[in-house]
Amino acid sequence: MASGFIKFDVEKFDGTGNFGLWQTRVKDILARRGILKGLQETKPAKVDNDAWEDMQVQAAATIRLCLAYQVMYHVTDEDSPKGIWDKLAYRYMSKSATNKLHLKQKFYGLKMHEGSDLMEHVNAFNQ
């Protein structure tokens, strides 16, 4: 790693996994790339206009690249990273009755199978 470049992979969010964990991973990637401020609605005073525009484009592209096609479809009309982020959060962090029912069904059906790893089971339970 002579160039100092480290590659980070994030599983593309397809609408079925843990959105909060995915969101944290994407924020970490944005921070590592130095473009986390791109999620802000307004330009920081210390950032010039060209750098802000580049930061916005890079942050939006990074977020979209971490989405599966069926999820990206819902944010194609958004250009700003903040708009994309907020729309995803509204859609996938909702506390709707349907979402709660789905989570309860997953919880009630959770079983540890013989020979499976205890840590994997605990992680599935925590999700």
- Distance (Å, rounded) from C-alpha 34 to C-alpha 77? 25
- pLDDT 10s digits, 53-90: 999 999 999 999 999 999 999 999 999 999 999 999 98
Q: Rounded to an integer, what distance in angstroms lies between the CA atom of residue 73 and that of residue 18? A: 19
Tell me, what's the pLDDT at 1?
A: 38
Same domain, 67 and 32: yes
Residue type, 14: D
Residue 3, in any domain of the structure: no
Residues 52, 107 within the same domain: no
Report the 10 Å Cβ neighbour count for 72: 17
pLDDT class for 16, splitting at 50, 70, 90? confident
What confidence category does residue 127 fall into, taking pLDDT thresholds of 50, 70 and 90? low
The CA distances from residue 74 to 82, 88, 93, 114, in Å, are 14, 8, 15, 40
**Model confidence at 20, in pLDDT bands (50, 70, 90)?**
confident
Residue range(s) defining the domain that contains residue 21: 11-94
* Predicted confidence (pLDDT) at residue 122 exceeds the cutoff of 90: no
Higher-confidence residue: 70 or 16?
A: 70
Q: Are residues 116 and 90 in the same domain?
A: no
| 15 and 72 housed in the same domain | yes
What is the pTM for the complete model shown? 0.70
CB 14 within 8 A of CB 68: yes
Is 26 domain-assigned?
yes
Taking alpha carbons only, the member of 27, 23, 22 closest to residue 11 is: 22
Q: Could you tell me if residue 86 is inside a domain?
A: yes
Look at residue 3 in the predicted model and tell me its pLDDT. Answer: 46
Q: Considering the domain boundaries, does residue 65 fall inside one?
A: yes
Count: domains in the chain: 2
d(C-alpha 83, C-alpha 74), whole Å:
11
Rounded to the nearest integer, the mean pLDDT of the chain is: 81
CA distance 42 to 110: 44
Residue type present at position 34: G
pLDDT higher than threshold 60 for residue 126 = no
* pLDDT at residue 93, rounded to an integer: 80
- pLDDT above 80: residue 105: no
